[in-house]
Amino acid sequence: MNLSQSLLLRPSPAGGQHGLLHLVDSCRAAAHLPTLRAVHARLLLLQHLPSSAVARVKLIQAYAACSALPAASAVLTSSPDRTTVFFNVLLRALTAASLHREALLLFASMRPQGPSCSPDHYTYPLALKSCAASGSLRLGVQIHASIARLGLDANLFVAHSAISMYARCGRPDDAYQVFDEMQHRDVVSWNAMISGFAHAGLFQRAVIIFRELVGLQCPQPDAGTMASILPAMGNAKAEDIAFVREVFDKMQFRGLISWNAMLSIYAINGLHVKAVELFMRMEKDAVEPDGMTLSTVLPCCGQVSAFSLGKRIHEIIKRKGMCPNMLLENALMDMYANCGCLNDAREVFDAMGSRDVVSWTSIISAYGVRGHGTEAINLFENMLGQGLQPDSIAFVAVLAACSHAGLLDVGKHYFDCMTSRYQITPKAEHYTCMVDLLGRAGCIREAYDFIMAMRMKPNERVWGALLGACRIHSNMDIGLLAADSLFRMVPDQTGYYVLLSNIYARTGRWADVTSVRSVMASKGIKKLPGASNVEIGDQVHTFHVGDRSHPQSEMIYKKLEELLGRIRGMGYNPGVEGTLHDVEEEEKEGHLSVHSEKLAIAFVLINTSPGTPIRITMNLRTCSDCHHAAKLISAITDREIILKDINRFHHIVQGVCSCGDYW
C-alpha cells in the first residue's frame, strides 16, 4: 500500500484539520502530487474545506509547487469566498511557470468578482511581469494607469515592474520616466533600469546607468546588478569590461551570481585567459561553483588549451554527481575536443544517456576540424538514424568537415540535401563552407560562379574564403576580384591585405607586394601579431613572434636553436617565399624561426617530461613553415603536437599530421 492509499484509510491525524494542513505543507515542500491529492480528498471527506480559507490557499500553493496548475485553478474556482489572496497565489504560480496569457486572463477576471477580489500592490507587479514577458504593451499601459489612479505607483515593487514592462515592450524612455519620477530608489530600482535598457538592446545606455549607480556609492551594486549588466556586455568595450571588473573586485559580498556574471562577461567577449584566471581565483577563495559556472568556464579552457584545468573541472563534476546534465556534458565534450583530446571527447559523448542536436554537432565538428571527414559523415548519418532533425548549425559542421577533408562530391550532396529535403535556407556560413570546399579542391572558377549565383549578398567571410583559396592555388585573376570586393566591404581588415600580398609574392610580383604594403602603411593598418597559448601547471603562457618577455626566454631560444639545427639536418629549409622581398634571406629566415608557435613548442619541451603532448592554441592560421617544422620536431622529440589554429586542428604524431597536408 502506498502513502496516498494509507492516508485515505487511516483516521484523521492528531489535530484533525491542522494535522492535514501540515501534510499539505509537506507535500508542497516535497512536490509530491499523489500524496497531495490524497490529503485533498481527505479534507473534502471530513468537510474541512468549506469552512477554511487557509486550507484552500495552502492547497493552491501546494498544487502550484507540484506543477499541477489546473488543479490549483480548480481549487480557486470552487472556493465560495474568494479573496485577492487566492488570486495572488495562483497568479504568482502562473507567472513563475511562464503561463503569461493564462495569468493575464486570471487578472482580468478579478474585478468582476467584487471588492474582495480587487487587485492590490502584490497583484499589479505580477500582472505587469506577464505583460512584459508577453509583449502586451497596451494592457501594460492600462494597468499602469490604474496603478497611478490608486496611488500605488510609489510602491517600489510596482515601480520596478512598470520599469521592466516598458523596457521589455520597447518603450525604454517611458521606463526611464518611471525611474526618474521615483521619490525613493533602492539598488533593485537601478538594477531594473539597467536590465530594462539591456533587454531593449540599448547596451551603452545600460552601461551608462551602471556607471551612474557606481558613482553614487549608495546604494551599493549587488549580485543583481552584476546579473543586470551581463546582457549589455556582449562585444563590450575594453574599458567597460575593466570597469565592471573593478566594481566586482570592490564588492563586499559577491555571491555565486556575481562570479558567474563576471565569468560570462569574459567568456562572451573572447577573454578566455581572463575567464580561466578568474575561475582559479574563485577556487582559491573557496567559492563553490555550480553547473552554470562550470559550463561557462569549460569552453574557455578549450579555447586556450587549458587541459589540466578542464580535467580538474571534470573531476569536480564527477565528485558532485552533477551528471547527467546535457549542458555540462556538451561543455565537457567541447572542452576536450578543443584541447585536442578527441578520444576523451568521444568518451563523454558515448557515455551520455541522452543527446540533442548540439551534442551530435559538437562531436561531428570535433572530427571534422581534424580532417577526419569520413568519421564526421558517419556520425552525421548516425544522428539522422536516431530520428533527430539536423539544424542549420549541424549542416555547417558537416559541410566544414567535407571542406577540411576535400570531400567535394559529398559536400555538394549535403548542401543540396539541406535545401531540398530539410528546407533549410542557406546562411552565410553554409555558403562560406561551400566556397572553401570548392576553392581548396582547386575549383576556383566554380567557387566564383557559386558566389555569383548566391541568393544573398556575399559577405566578407565568403569572399575571404575565395581569396584564401586563390592564395593556395596562386590564382591571380580571381584573387584580385575577391580582394577588390573585400577592400570595399572591410577596407581596414588586415588579413585580406596580407593574403593579397602573399598571392603577389608567390607569383614573384614584388612591386605589387610593395604597393599593398604601402597602402597598409598609409592607412595605419598593421598585421595582427601571431599569438600562441600553452598551459603549464595552472598557468596559461602566451607567446608572440620574436617574444623575449618570458622569464625563461634565454632557455627557450637556446632550445629552439638546437631544434632548428637538428631539423635542418633532416632537410628543413625555412619557407621564405611569402615574406617581404626587400628583406635579406637571412632576415627572412630569422623572422620565421621565432614565430610564436615555435617558441611555444620550445617552451613546453623544456618544462615537461618526455612523452607529454604539446598543446598549442593560436589566434591566426599557422604558416606552412611552422607546420613543416612542427612535423619534424614531433619526429625528433617523439612528442605529439596538437596545434589548434583559427581554422582547424593539426594533430601531429611522429611527423605525420592529421590534416594530411590538405589545409
Q: pLDDT (tens digit, 9 = 90+) per residue, 448-487?
A: 999 999 999 999 999 999 999 998 898 999 999 999 999 9
Let me know if residue 67 belongs to a domain.
yes
Residues 538 and 457 both lie in one domain? no
Q: Average the pLDDT over 498-522 and give the result.
A: 84
Residues 639 and 535 both lie in one domain? yes
- Give dist(CA 652, CA 658) in Å, integer: 6
- Res. 567: pLDDT tops 90: yes
Q: Average the pLDDT over 126-155 and give the result.
A: 92
Percentage of the chain exceeding pLDDT 90 = 65
pLDDT at position 28 is 77
Residues 652 and 557 both lie in one domain? yes
- Res. 296: pLDDT tops 90: yes
Identify whether 219 is preceded by a cis peptide bond (ω within 30 of 0): yes
The rounded radius of gyration (Å) of the Cα atoms in the chain is: 31
Let me know if residue 224 belongs to a domain.
no
Residues 652 and 535 both lie in one domain? yes
- Give dist(CA 632, CA 602) in Å, integer: 13
Closest C-alpha among 393, 398, 348 to residue 369? 398
For residues 580 and 65, the model is more confident at: 65
Domain end residue (candidates: 489, 522, 555): 522
Domain end residue (candidates: 41, 57, 81): 81
- Give dist(CA 345, CA 458) in Å, integer: 35
Q: What's the grid cell of residue 186? A: 533602492
Let me know if residue 632 belongs to a domain.
yes
- Res. 428: pLDDT tops 60: yes
- Res. 4: pLDDT tops 50: no
- Give dist(CA 156, CA 161) in Å, integer: 9
Residues 512 and 571 both lie in one domain? no
The mean pLDDT value of the chain amounts to: 89
Using pLDDT thresholds of 50, 70 and 90, give the confidence band for residue 583.
Answer: very low
Q: Residue 507 belongs to a domain with what CATH number? A: 1.25.40
pLDDT at position 11 is 44
Residues 476 and 547 both lie in one domain? no
Domain end residue (candidates: 499, 522, 545): 522
Residues 516 and 536 both lie in one domain? no
Using pLDDT thresholds of 50, 70 and 90, give the confidence band for residue 10.
Answer: very low
Residues 573 and 507 both lie in one domain? no
Residues 541 and 643 both lie in one domain? yes
> Residue 505: which domain range?
438-522
Residues 596 and 506 both lie in one domain? no
Sheet holding 614-618, edge to edge: 539-544, 531-536, 614-618, 641-644, 649-653, 656-657
Using pLDDT thresholds of 50, 70 and 90, give the confidence band for residue 18.
Answer: low
Using pLDDT thresholds of 50, 70 and 90, give the confidence band for residue 529.
Answer: confident
Using pLDDT thresholds of 50, 70 and 90, give the confidence band for residue 153.
Answer: confident
Closest C-alpha among 55, 58, 61 to residue 16? 55
- Res. 12: pLDDT tops 60: no
Over residues 229-243, the pLDDT tens digits come to 999 999 899 999 999
Residues 550 and 635 both lie in one domain? yes
- Res. 6: pLDDT tops 60: no
pLDDT at position 576 is 47
Which region among 161-170, 520-529, 541-550 has the lowest average model confidence (pLDDT)? 520-529
Let me know if residue 463 belongs to a domain.
yes
Number of domains in the chain: 3
Let me know if residue 542 belongs to a domain.
yes
- Res. 65: pLDDT tops 80: yes
- Give dist(CA 450, CA 442) in Å, integer: 14
* Sequence-ordered list of residues with C-beta below 8 angstroms from that of 361, at least 6 positions apart, any chain: 391, 393, 394, 397
pLDDT at position 589 is 43
- Res. 206: pLDDT tops 90: yes
Sign of CA dihedral 21, 27, 33, 35: negative
Using pLDDT thresholds of 50, 70 and 90, give the confidence band for residue 50.
Answer: low
Let me know if residue 626 belongs to a domain.
yes
pLDDT at position 575 is 60
Let me know if residue 652 belongs to a domain.
yes
Q: Average the pLDDT over 125-136 and give the result.
A: 93
Q: Average the pLDDT over 75-85 and give the result.
A: 87
User: pTM to 2 decimals?
Assistant: 0.79
Q: Average the pLDDT over 369-377 and give the result.
A: 94
Over residues 317-331, the pLDDT tens digits come to 999 999 999 999 999
Let me know if residue 25 belongs to a domain.
yes
Residues 457 and 561 both lie in one domain? no
